[in-house]
């Protein structure tokens, strides 16, 4: 598979949110606005690219019986690095995402890709897979965030589209996350379904 | 290269090497980000103080940590301008928010009037309801508390007989906010620079007592 093919595969055919339905906790928790969803997606993407690349490099040095602890140590290391960098250089993002950044460690997308892709492919292909899956996750979260923000608060990326009092507050709260996700998954599957 | 076999030696060795390398990486990143993180926290604090005690060229004192009446820690910053007392900023905590803790910075002038406030943390409040806190109580908004004096005005929500309009559908968050305000005012009026303010409070209290007495007198008359 070509490098571009791997990226497209992660973005559409194996989109982590709309097709694989992985990583639902941050998907539902952080998408109260488009910006929040996008920040979370980008943070996850950074971790995915680094962890996929490194795990693919060291996959032959790790005995099978201890491969999960080794992968988790690598992933947790990168998550902490990303968290420290966000805290230092983007404190506003840190305030919004809070607990969800350290929780990337247990995001099943990251460990899932390490197991199913990075452990079997070359480092460069694995990094491309990280980019593809990461982009897919980022786009999905941004889209969910945008829908919720638009329907709930009447803004898009913080810009007012219509007055706030006409928005349905439910969409910013937890139930809106489930409703939006359900409709978007349905639409995505309708569009990509084989005729 | 073939995969390493599952011998105890290999397992221990690979885990040890990986954890040591990751640990070293974390140590390095932590050492280069420690300063920017502290800087960001300090900036946030001074921005909040500047927002609650307005004015150019203010000098902010080191924080004085005290305990409020409900046992929470609070920090008092004295703001001076060219040797003149401008006001005090008090960082107070209330644990009675809808989802737990809220942290608010309040600014008071020498008389105890509220100069301004800045919500530092209301991340546990419901978005769209309690999380409206940073705007709701500002000047010109529905729950305006700016310029009022907790020693003279009854700053509780109207449901509890006070004069502040609670955030629509978020009475608990509003109560928590006013609780933090009461805590902040409590430690503010207990600190030394505010002597003039506490004197005025005593006067206010005294006059309040008088009206109470007058009331009870009237009641007596009625019962008689």
* Cβ <8 Å between A63 and B19: no
Supply A152's token pair. 């709930």
From the list B11, B44, B126, which residue is nearest A65 (CB)? B11
Which residues in A lie closer than 8 A to residue B129 (C-beta atoms)?
169
Which residues in B lie closer than 8 A to residue A76 (C-beta atoms)?
22
Q: How far apart are CA B157 and CA B207, in angstroms?
A: 23
Chain B residue nearest residue A164, CA to CA = B128
pLDDT digits (tens, 9 = 90+) for B9-18: 888 988 999 9
CB count, 10 Å around CB of A35?
Answer: 19
Residues A6, A125 contacting (CB under 8 angstroms): yes
- The whole-number pLDDT of residue B153 equals 82
Helix/strand number for chain B, H first, E second? 4, 6
- The whole-number pLDDT of residue A22 equals 87
pLDDT tier for residue B20 given thresholds of 50, 70 and 90: very high
The stretches in chain A having pLDDT less than 70 are: 1, 194-195
pLDDT tier for residue B191 given thresholds of 50, 70 and 90: low
Q: Could you tell me if A166 lies within 8 Å of chain B, comparing CB atoms? A: no
Q: Could you tell me if B42 lies within 8 Å of chain A, comparing CB atoms? A: no
B-contacting residues in A 98-137 (Cβ below 8 Å): 98
| Closest C-alpha to A95, from B181, B93, B38, B44 | B44
- The whole-number pLDDT of residue A195 equals 53
> Distance from B16 to chain A by nearest Cα, in Å?
9
Q: How far apart are CA A39 and CA A146, in angstroms?
A: 13
pLDDT above 80 (res B82): no
Residues A138, A38 contacting (CB under 8 angstroms): yes
- The whole-number pLDDT of residue B214 equals 44
| Closest C-alpha to B93, from B13, B202, B182, B193 | B182
Name the one residue in this structure whose structure tokens are 């598979």: A1
Supply A185's token pair. 């998954």
pLDDT above 50 (res B211): no
- pTM confidence score: 0.75
pLDDT above 80 (res B218): no
- The whole-number pLDDT of residue B154 equals 83
* A105 phi and psi angles, rounded to 5 deg: -55, -45
pLDDT above 50 (res B86): yes
* Cβ <8 Å between B29 and A81: yes
pLDDT above 50 (res B196): no
Which residues in A lie closer than 8 A to residue B22 (C-beta atoms)?
73-74, 76-77
Q: Could you tell me if A84 lies within 8 Å of chain B, comparing CB atoms? A: yes
Choice among B41-45, B55-59, B168-172, B217-221 with the minimum mean pLDDT: B217-221
* B71 phi and psi angles, rounded to 5 deg: 85, 10
CB count, 10 Å around CB of A106?
Answer: 14
- Which residues lie across from B100 on neighbouring strands? B97
Size of interface A-B (CB pairs under 8 A): 75
Q: How far is CA A126 from the centre of its chain?
A: 16
- The whole-number pLDDT of residue A41 equals 92
- The whole-number pLDDT of residue B99 equals 83
CA distances (Å), B204 to each of A2, A153, B83, B194, B212, in order?
Answer: 80, 44, 29, 15, 12
pLDDT tier for residue B202 given thresholds of 50, 70 and 90: very low
Question: Of the spans A154-163, A174-183, B120-129, B153-162, which averages the highest pLDDT?
Answer: A174-183
Q: How far apart are CA A3 and CA A14, in angstroms?
A: 15
* Cβ <8 Å between B18 and A32: no
Segments of chain A assigned E as strands? 155-156, 159-160
> Distance from B35 to chain A by nearest Cα, in Å?
8
Stated as kind and residue range, the H or E segment containing A28 is helix A24-29
Q: Could you tell me if B211 lies within 8 Å of chain A, comparing CB atoms? A: no
Which residues in A lie closer than 8 A to residue B37 (C-beta atoms)?
84, 87-88
* Cβ <8 Å between B128 and A95: no
> Distance from A169 to chain B by nearest Cα, in Å?
7
Q: Decide which of B210 and A167 is more confident.
A: A167
* DSSP reduced 3-state for B103: strand
Residues B81, B75 contacting (CB under 8 angstroms): no
Mean pLDDT of B184-199: 61
* Cβ <8 Å between A60 and B3: yes
Residues B194, B85 contacting (CB under 8 angstroms): no
pLDDT tier for residue B68 given thresholds of 50, 70 and 90: confident
- The whole-number pLDDT of residue B200 equals 44
Which residues in B lie closer than 8 A to residue A84 (C-beta atoms)?
29-30, 33, 37
Which residues in A lie closer than 8 A to residue B38 (C-beta atoms)?
none
| Closest C-alpha to A14, from A136, A178, A104 | A136
From the list B10, B30, B40, which residue is nearest A91 (CB)? B40
Residues B103, B116 contacting (CB under 8 angstroms): no
Residues A135-146 as b or e (16 or more Cβ within 10 Å = b): bbbbbbbbbbbb
* Cβ <8 Å between A81 and B37: no
């Amino acid at each position: 598979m070509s490098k571009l093919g791997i990226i497209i595969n992660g973005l559409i055919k194996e989109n982590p949110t709309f097709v694989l339905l992985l990583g639902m906790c941050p998907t539902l928790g952080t998408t109260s606005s488009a910006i929040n969803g996008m920040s979370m997606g980008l943070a996850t993407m950074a971790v995915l690219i680094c962890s996929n690349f490194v795990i693919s490099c060291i996959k032959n040095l790790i005995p099978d019986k201890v491969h999960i602890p080794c992968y988790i140590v690598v992933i947790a290391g990168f998550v902490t690095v990303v968290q420290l960098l966000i805290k230092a250089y983007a404190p506003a993002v840190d305030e919004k995402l809070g607990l969800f950044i350290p929780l990337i460690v247990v995001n099943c997308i990251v460990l899932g890709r390490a197991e199913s892709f990075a452990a079997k492919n070359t480092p460069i292909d694995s990094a491309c897979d990280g980019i593809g899956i990461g982009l897919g996750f980022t786009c999905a979260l941004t889209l969910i965030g945008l829908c919720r923000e638009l329907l709930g608060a009447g803004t898009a990326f913080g810009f007012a589209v219509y007055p706030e009092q006409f928005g349905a507050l439910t969409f910013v709260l937890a139930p809106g996350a489930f409703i939006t996700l359900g409709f978007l998954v349905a639409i995505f599957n309708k569009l990509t379904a084989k005729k | 290269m073939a995969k390493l076999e599952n011998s105890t030696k290999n397992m221990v060795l690979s885990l040890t090497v990986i954890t040591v390398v990751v640990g070293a990486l974390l140590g390095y990143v932590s050492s280069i980000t420690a300063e920017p993180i502290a800087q960001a926290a300090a900036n946030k604090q001074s921005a909040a103080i500047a927002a609650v005690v307005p004015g150019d060229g203010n000098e902010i004192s080191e924080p004085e940590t005290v305990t409020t009446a409900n046992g929470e820690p609070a920090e008092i910053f004295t703001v001076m301008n060219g040797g003149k007392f401008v006001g005090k900023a008090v960082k107070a905590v209330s644990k009675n928010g809808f989802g737990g803790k809220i942290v608010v910075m309040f600014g008071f002038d020498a008389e105890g009037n509220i100069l301004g406030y800045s919500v530092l943390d209301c991340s546990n409040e419901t978005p769209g309801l309690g999380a409206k806190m940073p705007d709701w109580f500002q000047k010109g908004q529905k729950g305006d508390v700016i310029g009022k004096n907790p020693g003279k005005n009854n700053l509780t929500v109207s449901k509890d007989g006070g004069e502040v309009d609670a955030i629509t559908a978020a009475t608990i968050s509003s109560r928590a906010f006013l609780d933090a305000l009461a805590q902040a005012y409590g430690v503010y009026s207990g600190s030394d620079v505010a002597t003039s303010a506490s004197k005025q409070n005593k006067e206010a209290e005294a006059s309040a007592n008088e009206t109470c007495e007058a009331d009870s007198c009237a009641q007596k008359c009625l019962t008689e």
